[in-house]
Structure 1
């Protein structure tokens, strides 16, 4: 089969032929129709990720059709169109993942390939209203957004929500999910075009985080501080989120692209009774609940661009530049 292979740090992805995997006991072989990129793939290529090993096949997001079954797998699964849950071996504690938790695409073979073999428990029926390309844009970003907004922050209809850094897959899916359940959402971005695109998806308004007083401007726009704030940057701007949060508010962050938080004034946290929550990926129950919400509200992930598998390196560079609005998808099979 053809795959996109990464041979080392800062090496370009290149098309390579490798043996097609065979499903083991309890596994299914999925013929992938589409896969999607995540920033995780770029970090692995740059060597900025734990557990690096080369050569490797990246890709955590994928959708396709089950073509082969391992021992013990129900025959009814053969031929089903599915989307793959990229979070494996979460463990028994719903509050945090086990040490054995892994994400598809490292250490195990990922979805930038014509076929991938995974345990049958990690495939779910493709939402009927989505194409393979749209469904491939959903798994990692969708489960991350769902857990951050609902499992961790316990977002309720009618609440005011601030989502930072709109344009990435997780932030956009969090926006779509929050709007779907009746929350009022505001966003930030460094791009005026992305702020306008977010409004078209249901955001009430937004502000550029490049402006000095963006947090107070957003609170003014919203008519009050925010009950829930969903962030992926952390860094020096995190203190502004404390100011923008309502008393009793919940700030949940699922990444730290701007690095460590240099100052966290304790009085702003304890006097406002704030909850600061970390969130990573999600349980199998989170994944199932996310798909249920997507199907109930017929949500369609935002796709920035669809490229053929052979142009995977160009897709990685577009992701690295951060100019995309939505998910970058690789089309593997027509």
Structure 2
């Protein structure tokens, strides 16, 4: 699943903004958008668009002075700016556009002052919901990987998109968050692929570093465990992971399957443990059918003990079941070298 959003490409000016001779403010100032209640006149909107263009110009200026686009701080500043502008153009009246813009400016200021280090923490702007702990964990692991230098641009944007998704969840629940979660998941997969393929002068020496596995989540309908109960798009994700093994010329060492269930029958319920086991066995058979030797597949079953999506307060029941979908999964980890 993909979604389209307006962005501010680093290589050109924003298509919706005319060249207005905007001057960037000094780095000690904070760029402020018009108050939400004032965004009803052409003058107020024009001033905000100038502010966005000024920030884009500052990022471009950093690039012109030699800061590469692939740099973590540059990428994150750009992605914060992009999601801020995207939500502004969608008439988001919350504090999110301003918060995301401010995060972009904080990074720009640090880079303009040649800060020795750029922070890697990612604040949950506008009290965005913390979604998909599994994706956050994979992103944190990338920061410590030897190939992160090749993946930092994509990883930075993955972190921002998870916050973007959490903000959408708070405003309009899971239905609106879901497309941005998919964007974030795709970015995490792409970042891991870039880190695996990183070589040459950009890859620091890391003797004995563990290779990054390929990860796919096979998702099941509520209280179901058969092949026909798998969500089609998650099968596509599995097949893409298998294709990447061939494309990247990797050697498959083993496959680790971890079966899970959601919390709907109550946490710690014995039926959930058995359900997670049946799901893992279904995926085992599926992989064997795709040519993976049975002896390389290792199963674990966690029941409802590892919920990656909490969905607190989601109603009605149909929406809650859909929100809990990522918990009804078999995590497939392809261990490669």
The TM tier, using the shorter chain, reads: under 0.3
More RCO (CA 8 Å, sep 6+) = 1
TM-score (norm 2): 0.26
Bigger-Rg structure (1/2): 2
Higher strand share: 1
TM-score (norm 1): 0.26
